[in-house]
Structure 1
């Protein structure tokens, strides 16, 4: 019987329903590989998407950077619980004491405690990432003590990329190609725009009506966090299969030390629960999900107008990878993931939290205030029925959304974004607005609010 015989039908239908211009999906289990593509890679040119089309993988890159760090650890070249400065003396943040304490493990698990969305464009060149590390020393504000609180952190992975480059004596890109891409036999993967144009490469689409994004990729300074890499989904499946094979590639080449994947899958930090669809914990560079009573691991990614998802179900050896280039990509990926997981793994994808018909009561004074981080300022006003949250990203128009209480410390947006209803919570007596990033309240925090468990 053909593995996932309905995959093409599933993605064609989901793309049409959710306004996705183009997408490609691959799933592997055992020796079987199913692939399908739909739509176009560019609405302007009308070039069809194919299964070997490259989609930007965004933060799925962080798992590859984590694998490079785990190689170093396995070779005894880096200790996960050693300060980053032992290997990269240039590393630092605004807080001098934190700069000395932050470890490699803190960066792998997003617990360094400093502002992480530092997308400074330091230009092109082999020193782009190291220049961002220098920028961090003067701009990365400490918002919690190292190891105290999970807060998703791109800049931390840029520092890990610089650490890899230093210890390997080259660049992060060279280490990626020599130590992962080539040993895996990943033939449809690009780390630069000039490499991507050698392939059928998708462009992102934004706006209403959809149009190609004005910029194809983010600065090279953030490459180890996911700003530049693109891949065909089949090569992300190839990477997942290597992990499931305990670090051995399809041709028998050992890529990672034995036991690496098991170590990466061990929970390092428990996350505040926004909903069953969100990660329950974080491993060493991996999102850890508890879906239908089973462990699922992986990562998501996003760049302007492009969205990626990558998942592994270890107990049955299933790997899924998908890329989409605009529209309501979140809803598209929800639908396709649910169909693949049910068919191949007998696993029910948990439902997302929806706005309740009757919102639960809450204490408005706990939430109201101003919260600020590099990605924007959040102005939260509250009334008895819910919250109005205005986000003002740097250099972009402000946008306001209505949130209603969904129980516990969670609030769910009334309107969809990317085809799904976003969730937020408020942590530590109202000190932080949490949306996987812990955004601190400006001024004095309110007191008396219960902490998210």
Structure 2
């Protein structure tokens, strides 16, 4: 892609983003591309419907789970310094770490935290603590309330809990609060000059807030909760910044660990290790996992990616090493992921010439549905799967552990925790697509909408995977 082509990208982005904002798909959206020394950033719409503040090129937003790659980068810096061992048990560095299952934490290695293969069953665990001991409070709570989904290294399941434990591990090893360490060892050397970790800091500049559809009117309304609790900082609860900041971070990984300023943030060896496959479930809906990065195969091209949900918003960071390209975006409603997927796929196909293979060819009528029927559970979540009219039907129930958990999750979900039953059609044994979607939707980032079932024994699947997260048959 040359400068002329990048100008074409900018024109296309402006048209697509403006159309999405003006149609009501999303209130505001900002996206940027860096390629071969050239960079564009495009913004349109409204950052906050309550105030009418515009979405600008330098408007800040919550990184959400994109933070997990920043947290991994912090851990790798300490690995390089010999203060953390990737293959050391977490308890060797963090003796306080324990789970509700006796001795289960002792088997978890630092590597398992970063590769989402730790098995910690805490994806919806939201302790509400603030200040210097917030992450300590999170880890302390795991011992009494959270068990395991599988043996460490045995499977892959997207793990908020693993990243938060990694954040607490960093605090103990360095003696610094996570927010201070992030500012010192990532924000500053990378040149993320507009990034912060609190609402108090974000309010001093232009910052977007999330939005949800109002259940009564259907119209979008601003979120009632800006950030998740401070206990979720390393998993994506609190870091805030701009598209330019994320592009700078992506460029650092594109350049083998050297920031745009010329400062070395990571060794080339650490950057390469983060890109290596740590676990592959060999299922289209679950891309291979590196350390921190999800390794999306788009044909023969690998896209290092992480998306980040925040209350009423979603961010996305993609690094494409083969094409010297970084893409970052944020939209302030959960449905913005659809626009991000369209822009990414168009960027790959039209401007990089990447051929996207067809992942889902059509519905299979000959698949036996009975092995997948049953009840699946993970932390505070229940999925009941049945057969209705020749399709799988899933009913999701949130089962809060206490009033505080219910309050936080309800706000994070936009005021409601119930959803209508969802039907799925079989694509092949063990793999299902949500009914009513065109099959080509799943060729891009939205392959995460597919649902898979795993480890069928005696005619019954033991695990269900949706969005990279496992639930276990009960």
Aligned match of 2:197:
191
Of the three residues 372, 387, 394, the one matched with 1:389 is 394
Of the three residues 45, 64, 72, the one matched with 1:58 is 64
Aligned match of 1:427:
454
Aligned match of 2:429:
408
Query: Per the alignment, do residues 305 and 234 of structure 1 end up closer, same or farther by CA in structure 2, a change over 3 Å counting?
Result: same
Aligned match of 1:445:
none
Asked whether the equivalents of residues 362 and 384 of structure 1 are also in contact (C-alpha less than 8 Å), the reply is no
Distance 1:93 1:135 in 2: 9
Query: Per the alignment, do residues 238 and 69 of structure 1 end up closer, same or farther by CA in structure 2, a change over 3 Å counting?
Result: same
Describe how 1:165-180 pairs up with structure 2 within 5 A: 165-180=171-186
Query: Per the alignment, do residues 111 and 8 of structure 1 end up closer, same or farther by CA in structure 2, a change over 3 Å counting?
Result: same
Aligned match of 1:362:
367
Distance 1:266 1:20 in 2: 35
1:311-341, Cα deviation, whole Å (9 max, x unpaired): 1110121000000001631221111112222
Query: Per the alignment, do residues 174 and 377 of structure 1 end up closer, same or farther by CA in structure 2, a change over 3 Å counting?
Result: same
Per the normalisation by structure 2, the TM-score is 0.88
Aligned match of 1:264:
274
State the SS of the aligned residue for 2:151.
coil
Report how far residue 17 of structure 1 moved. 5.1
After TM superposition, the runs of 4+ consecutive aligned structure 1 residues lying more than 3 A away are: 14-18, 348-354, 415-421
**What is the root-mean-square deviation in Å for CA atoms of aligned residues?**
2.1
Query: Per the alignment, do residues 368 and 219 of structure 1 end up closer, same or farther by CA in structure 2, a change over 3 Å counting?
Result: same
State the SS of the aligned residue for 1:149.
coil
* Counterpart check, 1:20 vs 2:26: yes
1:164-200, Cα deviation, whole Å (9 max, x unpaired): 1111111111110000101111112121111111121
Report how far residue 98 of structure 1 moved. 2.1
Report how far residue 398 of structure 1 moved. 4.7
Per the normalisation by structure 1, the TM-score is 0.92
Distance 1:18 1:362 in 2: 39
Report how far residue 9 of structure 1 moved. 2.1
Q: What count of residue pairs does the alignment treat as equivalent?
A: 437
Aligned match of 2:470:
438
Query: Per the alignment, do residues 283 and 42 of structure 1 end up closer, same or farther by CA in structure 2, a change over 3 Å counting?
Result: same
State the SS of the aligned residue for 2:54.
coil
Asked whether the equivalents of residues 390 and 401 of structure 1 are also in contact (C-alpha less than 8 Å), the reply is yes
Gaps of 5+ in 2: 400-405, 407-416
Asked whether the equivalents of residues 46 and 53 of structure 2 are also in contact (C-alpha less than 8 Å), the reply is yes
Distance 1:415 1:42 in 2: 32
Report how far residue 351 of structure 1 moved. 5.9
Asked whether the equivalents of residues 247 and 256 of structure 1 are also in contact (C-alpha less than 8 Å), the reply is yes
Of the three residues 111, 125, 139, the one matched with 2:145 is 139
Distance 1:257 1:331 in 2: 35
Aligned match of 2:385:
380
Aligned match of 1:104:
110
Report how far residue 141 of structure 1 moved. 1.2
Distance 2:359 2:308 in 1: 19
Describe how 1:55-134 pairs up with structure 2 within 5 A: 55-134=61-140
